[in-house]
Structure 1
Amino acid sequence: MSGQIVRPYGDMTGDGMVQVSFTLPVPHDKRAEGAALQLAGKMGLDPAMLVHARQMGDGYTFFVVYGRVSHLVDLDAVRVLERDYPLLTAKDVNAAVRRRMRRKLSVVGACIGTDAHTVGIDAILNVKGIAGEKGLEYYRELKVLNLGAQVTVAELVEAARVEKADAVLVSQVVTQRDAHLHNVREMSAAFREAFPAARRPLLVAGGPRFDEMMAADLGVDRIFGRGTTPREVASYLVHALTNQKAVAA
């Protein structure tokens, strides 16, 4: 395979072999296995091989299917959001905030709606952080308030007002019925109604199921996906608030 065109790799380079898993709402029997192979064929796997099937409760079966696809990937056509700001150390972040803002940078974070999964927001905000990196509470020049889980949009707006927040970080893990998208759109609309444009906090959303290219569509300034570290978030906040928004003391 030459240039920027690639195919999946399984046993040999460019053989197009992939493995997919899914659940069908049928009890496990031969008919269910046939249905799984039919679905795999319609997905473009040819030939498709059923390598695993297991009953998942009453009337559901989980499948793993292995097979070849003919599709090619054009790497030149891939569009992703590249980091457009320098990755700073904690020392550099603190120095930049002191020098350019001349006060502490205020951050309010929460999981909104019915989402009770605080692992993500805690990993970014709490001192213990994640993967060997300290969270934003560790940064001396950042004032952090973590509201926790199941916070209403109204509560978040009020907390941002009271704290005079420069940035609001929202984590969303629950994605059923696109709840994460609806919640973030509701949140961004509420902040735009409650704050004049010049005083609105920076709005940042994060979670494993977000498309980082959707920031404008959701009405936020930035989206962070899976694998994001506290250092990346802190560096972005400094970049956005001290350079792009030219925040005054």
Structure 2
Amino acid sequence: MSTLVRPYGDTTGDGMVQMSFTLPVPHSKVAEGAAAQLAQKMGMDPALVVHAKPMGPDFTFFVVYGRVSHLVDLDAVRVVERDYPLLTPKEANLALRKGLRRRLVVVGACIGTDAHTVGIDAILNVKGWAGEKGLEYYREIKVVNLGAQVAVPDLVARAEAERADAVLVSQVVTQRDAHLHNTRELSAAFREAFPPARRPLLVVGGPRFDEGGAETLGVDRVFGRGTTPAEVASYLVHRTVTRHSSPEVRR
């Protein structure tokens, strides 16, 4: 099987793709021409504007369909693979009882001005998401969900008071890279407040994060779109049990 692939639209390997974007211009024939020109400059040839819709008086949303000549080498793709076993709630609870011998403490929040709790609630609340129950369902995990718009200093203080093993932060608002700025602020604050051996695991997630950016952002793990509660729980169990069994035990 070839590792070189081309986009598929109408027939295999025809290179046809569809993309959408918004231009800060009122809807007109000129605006549609500008959208086609932009797509052509991005390597789409021919570029056909198949949808254009005004977004208020000064903006227009476009969908453009056309052909690109680029190939993708699957052997050159680098992604973050799951490097820990995926556990059921029963298996996770058993691993914590044997390896940690106490409840795992998790503090979660949306920080900064982010008021979208759907992500953090999907992971933490017992009702969960995608048919999986959240971390509140796990008997050996204590969950403290602080909700939305939590200031980073308040999150640090609560994590210290709860003796948290892990801090989970969800970021949905991404305008002007707010999620990246907030995450770097989070990392700096926790590294200043805790010695390395006592610092909680820092885990962030949201639909616009690059899962390979953990080191750049100064956190332990980044989860992207589609992450399930079981994936997060399994990661936390894997990391905390491993840490607890190391020579530098947190407590």
TM-score calculated relative to the size of structure 1:
0.98
CA distance in 2, matches of 1:94, 1:142: 8
* Cα pair 1:17 1:66 within 8 Å, conserved: yes
TM-superposition CA deviations, 1:122-148 (whole Å, max 9, x none): 000000000110000000000000000
Distance 2:201 2:35 in 1: 46
Tell me which residue corresponds to 1:32.
31
The corresponding residue for 1:132 is 131
The 1:248/1:199 distance shift into structure 2, 3 A limit, reads closer
Q: Secondary structure at the match of 1:227?
A: coil
Moved over 6 A (4+): none
**Correspondence for 2:60:** 61
Residue type matched to 1:31 in 2? V
CA contact (8 A) 2:208 2:225 kept: yes
Residue 12 of structure 1 corresponds to which residue in structure 2? Answer: 11
Structure 2 runs not aligned, ≥5 long: none
* Partner residue in 2 for 1:120: 119
Distance 2:21 2:100 in 1: 50
Q: Superposition pairs for residues 67-216 of structure 1, below 5 Å?
A: 67-216=66-215
Q: For the residues of structure 2 that align with 1:59 and 1:112, how far apart are their CA atoms? A: 32
Report the AA paired with residue 13 of structure 1. T
How big is the shift at 1:43?
Answer: 0.8
Q: CA deviation at 1:58?
A: 1.1
Question: Is the 1:101–1:248 Cα contact (8 Å) retained in structure 2?
Answer: no
Q: Matched residues in 1 for 2:163 and 2:244: separation? A: 15
CA deviation after TM superposition for structure 1 residue 245, in Å: 5.1
Q: CA deviation at 1:244?
A: 4.3
Distance in 1, Cα, partners of 2:250 & 2:116? 35
By how many angstroms is 1:93 displaced? 0.4
Write the distance in 2 (CA, Å) between the matches of 1:55 and 1:168: 42
Give the conservation status (yes or no) of the 8 Å contact 1:97–1:104: yes
Distance apart, 1:205 and its partner CA: 0.5
Q: Give distance in 1, aligned partners of 2:54 and 2:196.
A: 54
Deviation at 1:248, TM superposition (A): 6.2
* Cα shift readout 1:7-52 (whole Å, capped 9, x = no counterpart): 0000000000000111111111111111111001001110111111
- For the residues of structure 2 that align with 1:125 and 1:52, how far apart are their CA atoms? 39
Cα distance in structure 2, aligned partners of 1:70 and 1:61: 27
One-letter amino acid matched to 1:48: A
Q: May I ask how many residue pairs the two structures share in their alignment?
A: 248
CA distance in 2, matches of 1:248, 1:60: 54
d(CA) in 1 for partners of 2:83 and 2:47? 42
* Cα distance, 1:54 vs structure 2: 1.2
Q: Distance in 2 between matches of 1:151 and 1:213?
A: 25
Cα–Cα, structure 1 residues 37 and 224, in superposed 2: closer, same or farther, change >3 Å? same
Find the aligned partners of 1:54 and 1:99 in 2 and give their Cα distance.
Answer: 58
Coordinate RMSD, CA, aligned: 1.0
CA distance in 2, matches of 1:184, 1:98: 31
**Aligned residues with identical type, % of pairs:** 76
* Matches of 2:104 and 2:51, distance apart in 1: 52
